[in-house]
């Protein structure tokens, strides 16, 4: 089985986890009209999506993107902020073949039907905040042992 997902043009990688992460971020950016706003996301969710236990997620992700279009702020060990530019119209279609990442994409699509992004009520400078996966949902995605 193969699926196709749309990622921003500035993502340059063969890593299907990175593709799924940025396809999801792009989908949230478009669906919630977040142009000019940042998206918060938690490290433990990113690790599940990427299938890695790395402590240096932002550095790993910077290896796969053009930093002129996306910056990743690390607020603390588990809180990241993505600020993306030009993600809607300048995108490309990529193929995902690994069943683990197809499963993760299906899960994220299901999540995106819920209120994943809440209105700013926490004083986050007019940026919505992302609701993390529940522990039981995160446990669906076990690490495959890939350490980076």
DSSP string of 16-81, one letter each residue: HHHHHHHHHHHHHHHHTT-TT--EEEEHHHHHHHHT---S-HHHHHHTTB-TTTEEEEEEETTEEE
At residue 38, the pLDDT reads 87
pLDDT: which is higher, 35 or 50: 50
What total number of domains does the chain contain?
A: 1
**What is the spatial distance between Cα 73 and Cα 44, in angstroms, rounded to a whole number?**
15
- Percent of the chain exceeding pLDDT 70 equals 74
What pLDDT, in 10s, does the model give residues 101-127? 998 898 888 766 555 555 544 444 555
Q: Would the pLDDT of 1 be above 90?
A: no
Whether 75 is in a domain gets the answer: yes
Whether 77 is in a domain gets the answer: yes
Enclosing domain of residue 67: 3-138
Confidence band (pLDDT; 50, 70, 90) for 135?
low
Q: Would the pLDDT of 66 be above 80?
A: yes
At residue 84, the pLDDT reads 93
Torsion of CA 53, 92, 35, 54, to 10 degrees: 10
CB distance 23 to 4 below 8 Å: no
**What is the spatial distance between Cα 26 and Cα 70, in angstroms, rounded to a whole number?**
11
Over the chain, what is the mean pLDDT? Answer: 81
Q: Rounded to two decimals, what is the model's pTM?
A: 0.79
At residue 124, the pLDDT reads 47
């Amino acid at each position: 089985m193969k699926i196709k997902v749309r990622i921003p043009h500035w993502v340059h990688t063969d890593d299907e986890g990175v593709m799924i992460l940025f396809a999801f971020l792009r989908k949230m950016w478009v669906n919630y009209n977040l142009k000019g706003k940042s998206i918060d996301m938690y490290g433990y969710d990113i690790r599940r999506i990427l299938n890695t236990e790395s402590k240096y997620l932002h550095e790993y992700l910077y290896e796969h993107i053009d930093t002129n279009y996306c910056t990743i702020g690390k607020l603390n060990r588990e809180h990241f902020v993505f600020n993306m530019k030009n993600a809607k119209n300048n995108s490309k279609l990529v193929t995902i073949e690994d069943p683990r990442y197809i499963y993760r994409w299906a899960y994220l699509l299901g999540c995106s039907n819920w209120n994943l992004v809440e209105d700013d009520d926490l004083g986050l400078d007019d940026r919505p905040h992302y609701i993390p996966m529940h522990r039981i949902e995160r446990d669906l995605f076990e690490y495959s042992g890939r350490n980076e």
